[in-house]
Amino acid sequence: MLAAPLSEEFISPHCSWQSAAVKERSDVPWLMLTDKKGMWCEFFCLLCQRVHKKLLPEAMANQYFSSRGWVLTTSRDWELHMLKNPMSTYSHIIKLPNWNKFPNVEVLPPFYVEFIHKFVLSDSPTTCPDYKVMVIYDTGRLGLWKPGEEEWTAVTSPSAEVDDVIYYKGCFVAVDSEERILRCDVDGPTPFEAQVVFEMPQRPQEFEQGSRRYPSRCDFCSSQVYLVRSTTGSLLFVKQWDRQRPTQTSRFRIFEIDLDTQTCTEVQSLENTSLFLGYNSSFSLEADEDHLIKPNCIYFTDFGV
């Protein structure tokens, strides 16, 4: 994901610069631009519409991911570290077990830079010492780590490949390549097992009625699926289609999933909220045009540009 010279990631640290024109809001996302050849990181702030540069030698890495204000880095010697809020004066660093502490992983080939695909924290380590770390690694497998453990633990599932994972209502919830929703209760009786709890309908008839239809397969191809917790606490399934020609275009469809009633409903409007989608972190925010967050919009990172 970050093989290009510049990497783009959404992070959400507290703003270190005040804007005279707008009131401070700590949950406005930042865009992290990292020069992999150097030790400097650039951060674009929506709040003040400025790019801020900071020397971060500890952030020299092949990959960057974010969750709950923390950034996970995989260094060039394949060490894994978590950095608390890179824009703060003092960055707290937590070392995690290296890639060779993952179960059933063969030796990485040279210059392999996509070993980790997703990083999710159950809680912030600064507020909850009993936090857990879940990652999607290697060929789409789930790995779990708890503080004090020396190795990663594989989370078994019926899925050949997991595409996305979030922490939702006390459990890790994932979606696989077959668009099945899985749930892993790391505090339950089977903490290292993810079970299928919902399956997305395959082009159900009710979703094809009216003017809104699935994009034509000859024009668009499905590129990514996301799970997002809405601002009201519901679980959202987002599917993205991309078209490269004649112009690069992306389309999205959003469904609200109720795991209790085993139903899903297409979302026709986000109303006064917006979604931020990325390979490393996805979330929803209340719209606030004072902070340049427009309502009923989807902001997403595009690595094809």
CB atoms within 10 A of CB 258: 12
| Shared domain check, 101 and 194 | yes
Q: Is the pLDDT of residue 16 over 60?
A: no
Q: Is the pLDDT of residue 210 over 60?
A: no
For the chain, the domain total comes to 3
| Shared domain check, 88 and 35 | yes
Whole domain around residue 62: which residue ranges? 1-14+26-94
| Shared domain check, 87 and 104 | no
Q: What is the pLDDT of residue 57?
A: 59
Average pLDDT across the chain, whole number: 78
pLDDT digits (tens, 9 = 90+) for 170-196: 999 999 999 999 999 999 999 999 999
Residue 92 pLDDT level (bands cut at 50, 70, 90): confident
- Rounded Cα gap, residues 289 and 45, in angstroms: 14
Which of 165, 199, 233 marks a domain boundary? 199
| Mean pLDDT on 129-153 | 95
Q: What is the pLDDT of residue 120?
A: 96
15 or 276: which carries more pLDDT confidence?
A: 276
| Shared domain check, 90 and 103 | no
76 or 299: which carries more pLDDT confidence?
A: 299
In a domain, 184, yes or no: yes
Q: What is the pLDDT of residue 220?
A: 60
Residue 14 main-chain phi, psi, to 5 deg: -70, 140
pLDDT digits (tens, 9 = 90+) for 32-79: 766 555 566 777 776 777 887 776 655 566 677 889 888 888 876 778
Question: Cα separations (Å) of 219 from 205, 240, 243, 281, 291?
Answer: 21, 13, 6, 28, 35
Which of 69, 94, 119 marks a domain boundary? 94
Highest mean pLDDT, choosing among 110-124, 180-194, 236-250: 180-194
Q: What is the pLDDT of residue 35?
A: 59
In a domain, 208, yes or no: no
- Rounded Cα gap, residues 45 and 31, in angstroms: 7
Query: Locate tokens 């902070």: which residue?
Result: 291
| Shared domain check, 128 and 188 | yes
Q: Is the pLDDT of residue 204 over 60?
A: no
Tell me if 63 sits within 8 A of 74, measured CB to CB.
Answer: yes
Residue 3 DSSP class: -
Which of 199, 228, 250 marks a domain boundary? 199
Query: Locate tokens 């390979």: which residue?
Result: 279
CA atoms within 13 A on the CB side of 169: 13
In a domain, 204, yes or no: no
In a domain, 128, yes or no: yes
- Rounded Cα gap, residues 50 and 283, in angstroms: 22
| Shared domain check, 194 and 105 | yes
Confidence (pTM): 0.81
In a domain, 19, yes or no: no
In a domain, 150, yes or no: yes
In a domain, 82, yes or no: yes
In a domain, 106, yes or no: yes
